[in-house]
């Protein structure tokens, strides 16, 4: 029902494309203060190296608290873009892309926030005091930490909430309604085959830039040509296409798509360069975890609380020199960055399933198969009900 309720509003897929572009443009505008601060800092130092600025070099130019504050402003701006897209493009409310309930259930948000905040912090402290104390350095400075607390508490929940509203709400509903389109199976298959290929080409700097650009253009032209060939032979009117549509018109499809996109957007994070691309299993697995949680609970309140706790407590408790969030936290991880299979297996394949079981017991989730693999259908308006 959480996905199906998008049928009540204007849900043409082009609206979701434009809406996503609005969020992106608003976020870019929100980055202007950070860019201005960096340029000002460079000009103070003589103006040399302005063309060579990278995200990593920005960390060293600005104080960690200043950088964090300016970086998080872009998410606040992104929320403005999302609000306008939801209200004016879709004639929808922000509540309806977040939950099937009449309003946000703050008890659910606070439960997962406190639950995961305490559990994740406890695991870090266990590692610090007993398991691997040699991997940490005491980093606490009262003045800088106090400023960090104000910035983090005010802005990190905005950052995490925007990501949840976009991926577990707006786009999950958008892709859900898009499965009803006759061209959807083609777009879905092309996306899962070619988007990873394009990402690999984009990050593989060993390939000559001109060749890389030509290959990407060739892939695009091939996809367009394939589409017109299939259209010419009436493939989209065939029983085969109908069978593919029937397979894709289920809740698992938007869960999977949004999880892959969510994970893929983390590919530019500095930790990916340090730990390797296997870390993408963690990011995509985390997206799946929050997506399943959202569909089973008929709203993303649990994901909102969990995501906020994950980022906020991490920012306050421990930092490193090679992650996206570098803060004046209490501890600093000084261990050599490495990614073992155990680091992927434990959270994605053991901890996340256990957490889903815990939440299912508390909130009495049933009919897992029906909810996760149920057909996405546009119900009659009178069949809509508010979930309490």
pLDDT at 250 (0 to 100): 92
Four-point Cα dihedral 52, 53, 54, 58, nearest 10: 150
User: Per residue in 127-159, is it b (16+ CB within 10 Å) or e — as a string?
Assistant: bbeeeeeeebeebeeeebbebbeebbeebbbbb
Same domain, residue pair 79 and 218: no
Confidence of residue 207 (pLDDT cuts 50, 70, 90): very low
The beta strands (E) that lie in the chain are given as 136-138, 318-319, 331-333
pLDDT at 268 (0 to 100): 74
Across 153-162, 242-251, 322-331, which has the greatest mean pLDDT?
Answer: 153-162
Domain ranges, residue 223: 182-235
Q: How many helices (H) and strands (E) does the chain have?
A: 17, 3
Same domain, residue pair 133 and 70: yes
Q: How many CB atoms lie within 10 A of CB 49?
A: 11
Same domain, residue pair 327 and 367: yes
Which tokens is 118 given? 């305490």
Residue 386 within a domain: no
Same domain, residue pair 66 and 160: yes
Same domain, residue pair 10 and 25: yes
Same domain, residue pair 125 and 29: yes
Q: What is the pLDDT of residues 335-370, one digit of tens each?
A: 888 887 777 889 999 999 999 999 999 999 998 998
Instruction: Say how far apart CA 301 and CA 282 lie, in whole Å.
Output: 21
> Which residues, in sequence order, are CB contacts of 330 under 8 Å at separation 6+?
138, 139, 140, 145, 316, 317, 318
Same domain, residue pair 59 and 159: yes
pLDDT of 383 > 60? The answer is: no
Domain count, the chain: 2
pLDDT at 278 (0 to 100): 85
Q: Are strands 136-138 and 331-333 parallel, antiparallel or unpaired?
A: antiparallel
Same domain, residue pair 192 and 286: no
Residue 243 within a domain: no
Instruction: Say how far apart CA 215 and CA 212 lie, in whole Å.
Output: 5
Q: What is the pLDDT of residues 21-39, one digit of tens each?
A: 999 999 999 999 998 998 8
Same domain, residue pair 320 and 357: yes
pLDDT at 212 (0 to 100): 57
Residue 240 within a domain: no
Residue 110 within a domain: yes
Of the ranges 154-168, 183-197, 235-249, which one carries the lowest mean pLDDT score? 183-197
Report long-range pairs for 49-55 (Cβ below 8 Å, ≥24 apart). 55/268, 55/270
Residue 270 within a domain: yes
- Residue written as token pair 């253009």: 217
Same domain, residue pair 156 and 219: no
- Its pTM stands at 0.90
Residue 254 within a domain: yes
pLDDT of 387 > 50? The answer is: no
pLDDT of 90 > 80? The answer is: yes
Residue 241 within a domain: no
Confidence of residue 85 (pLDDT cuts 50, 70, 90): very high
Residue 336 within a domain: yes
Same domain, residue pair 15 and 59: yes
Same domain, residue pair 214 and 345: no
């Amino acid at each position: 029902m959480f996905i199906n309720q998008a049928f009540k509003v204007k849900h043409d897929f082009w609206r979701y494309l434009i809406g996503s572009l609005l969020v992106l443009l608003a976020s870019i505008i929100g980055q202007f203060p950070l860019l201005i601060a960096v340029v000002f800092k460079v000009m103070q130092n003589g103006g040399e190296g302005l063309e060579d600025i990278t995200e990593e070099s920005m960390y060293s130019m600005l104080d960690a608290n200043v950088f964090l504050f300016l970086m998080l402003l872009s998410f606040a701006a992104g929320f403005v873009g999302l609000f306008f897209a939801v209200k004016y493009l879709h004639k929808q409310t922000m509540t309806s892309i977040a939950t099937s309930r009449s309003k946000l259930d703050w008890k659910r948000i606070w439960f997962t926030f406190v639950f995961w905040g305490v559990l994740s912090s406890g695991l870090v402290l266990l590692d610090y005091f007993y398991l691997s104390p040699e991997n940490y350095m005491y980093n606490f400075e009262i003045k800088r930490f106090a400023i960090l607390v104000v910035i983090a508490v005010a802005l990190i929940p905005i950052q995490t909430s925007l990501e949840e509203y976009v991926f577990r709400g707006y786009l999950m509903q958008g892709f859900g309604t898009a499965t009803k389109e006759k061209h959807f199976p083609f777009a879905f298959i092309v996306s899962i085959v070619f988007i990873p290929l394009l990402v690999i080409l984009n990050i593989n700097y060993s390939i000559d830039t001109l060749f890389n650009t030509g290959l990407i253009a060739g892939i695009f032209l091939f996809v367009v040509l394939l589409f017109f060939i299939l259209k010419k032979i009436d493939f989209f009117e065939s029983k085969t296409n109908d069978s593919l549509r029937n397979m894709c018109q289920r809740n698992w499809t938007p869960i999977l798509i949004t999880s892959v996109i969510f994970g893929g957007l983390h590919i530019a994070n500095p930790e990916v360069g340090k730990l390797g691309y296997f870390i993408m299993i963690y990011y995509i697995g985390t997206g799946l975890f929050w997506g399943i949680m959202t569909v089973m609970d008929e709203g993303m309140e649990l994901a909102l609380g969990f995501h906020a706790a994950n980022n906020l407590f991490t920012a306050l408790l421990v930092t490193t020199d090679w992650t996206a969030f570098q803060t004046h936290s209490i501890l600093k991880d000084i261990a050599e960055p490495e990614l073992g299979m155990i680091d992927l297996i434990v959270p994605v394949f053991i901890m996340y399933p256990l957490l889903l079981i815990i939440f299912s017991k508390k909130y009495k989730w049933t009919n897992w198969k029906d909810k996760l693999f149920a057909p996405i259908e546009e119900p009659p308006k009178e069949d809509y009900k508010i979930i309490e």
